[in-house]
Amino acid sequence: MRRMDLPLRPLLIDCRLELRKSLRHYEQTDLAQRLEAALAMLAEPAAPVAPPGGAAASASPAAARSGPQVAYAWQMAARNLKASHPGLFNELQREVQRLLDAGEAFADAGAEIERLRQDLEAAESAAGAAKLARMKATAQLSTVCKTLAAAAPHVPETGDAQATALARIEALARGQGATAGAVASAVAGPADPDAVPPPAFVLEMVKAGERSFNKAQREFAVAEAMIVTGWQYTPVELLDRGERWLAGLLLQPDAHA
């Protein structure tokens, strides 16, 4: 049976809702089965009519649906849900009311897409800043461990950086450390060319094309560059500019602000 243009299906749905309210065992009655069968027949899509010449129709049924048709379908589904699953319907109603009260319901999909895009950019910015902070903290921790090693060289490495650092601090507290001159000499020694953040002389060499960043230094340079440039570029775009450009940016961040 083809779908009728008259509003018979919505009328039958309203009848079913009222019958469910009035009859306690409505679902077990013969009338319920007959009504469901009629609704199923009315819900069957009409067979597509081939255009003249036998050409296939170009537009899909989904593309031909209008906004009011979709809204009306949701309305009917909600009315059915209210009768069959009132608890779930109440939860859905509360969520809709929350969105309306919070101003999160938009007049069109474009506004929602724009909001999601802004949320994604904010999340990416926060993740980049957090990664950079972790890299800086790791570099600072490495510097502290090297200083402790210079201050208490007689304490051997144990394989556990935290345990070794605590043992060296205890040795220093007992006065079993190296002299201040020895510590100062060790700390003031040549900087590690593989350190993160990369030392200034490494940045100068990379900028001059005399060497390249190692993997950790490259990751740090990209994360720092994203913050300096105000998140205008993606990591891929920054890497495309080259390591020499990144090194120059880290040497003179104010010039690119």
pLDDT tens-digit readout, 18-63: 887 787 777 788 888 788 877 777 765 555 555 555 444 444 555 5
- Rounded to two decimals, the pTM is 0.40
C-alpha neighbours within 13 Å on the C-beta side of residue 137: 6
Token representation of residue 104: 């999160």
Distances (CA, A) of 28 to 25, 31, 55: 6, 9, 47
pLDDT band at residue 187 under the 50/70/90 scheme = low
- Please report the pLDDT score of residue 207 as a whole number: 92
- 3-state secondary structure labels for all residues of 154-187: CCCCCCCHHHHHHHHHHHHHCCCCCCHHHHHHHH
pLDDT at residue 160 greater than cutoff 50 = yes
Model pLDDT for residues 205-233, shown as the tens digit of each residue: 999 999 999 988 898 888 888 888 888 88
> Domains of the chain: which residue ranges?
1-42
DSSP character at residue 51: P
The span from the CA of 17 to the CA of 22, in Å, is 9
Token representation of residue 92: 């859905």
